[in-house]
Structures are given as C-alpha cells and as structure tokens.
Amino acid sequence: MAFPAALESILRRYERVLIPEMNMGQLWRVVRSEYAIGAYSLAKVQGRPFTTRELLHHIQRTLELPAGGSSHPLDTKLDRATEAAWEESGG
C-alpha cells in the first residue's frame, strides 16, 4: 500500500491518532506495522456509516486514553449513559 511521503512525519506530531474505518481495522494495522506508530482503531462493520455523535464520542474518549495507541480496536458502542447525555444536550 502506497502512502503519501509525509504521512509518517504528520502522524508522529500527535500523541494520539484515531483511525475510524468502516471495516475490521485494516488501515490501522497497516499504519501500525508500516510506521511503528501507536494508534487507536475505531472499526465499524455494521453496514451504516458513523454518526457525528459516534465520532465526537470516540474523539473525546481517545483524548482521555494514554498516548501511544492500543493493540485492540476501540468498542464502537455508545453506553446508555453517553447516549442519554447526548439526548439531553440535544446532540
């Protein structure tokens, strides 16, 4: 897989990298192996695109996680408390 020449230097500027994908996390695995960069995978295989709510939730959640990424994809389900908070805020 060919990536832009500057991709590695761009990714290394950030403590946390979140890679949302509509599959099982193939890009996340390639980025981790190609560049040895810790990243978080947000993989969704439900036949529906991510909602704005889901992406915002996972971006906020990723900012609370340790830098360096994870060796496992993040859970894409929103818990009931998060869902209720979004509903109350009009999200």
What pLDDT sits at residue 87? 64
The answer to whether the beta carbons of residues 29 and 58 sit under 8 Å apart is no
Residues composing the chain: 91
- How do 40-43 and 18-21 pair as beta strands? parallel
Nearest in space to 41 (alpha carbons), one of 67, 77, 73 = 73
What pLDDT sits at residue 65? 87
What pLDDT sits at residue 79? 58
Distance CA 5, CA 75 (A): 31
Distance CA 17, CA 8 (A): 12
What pLDDT sits at residue 8? 94
**Low-confidence residues of the chain: pLDDT under 50:** none
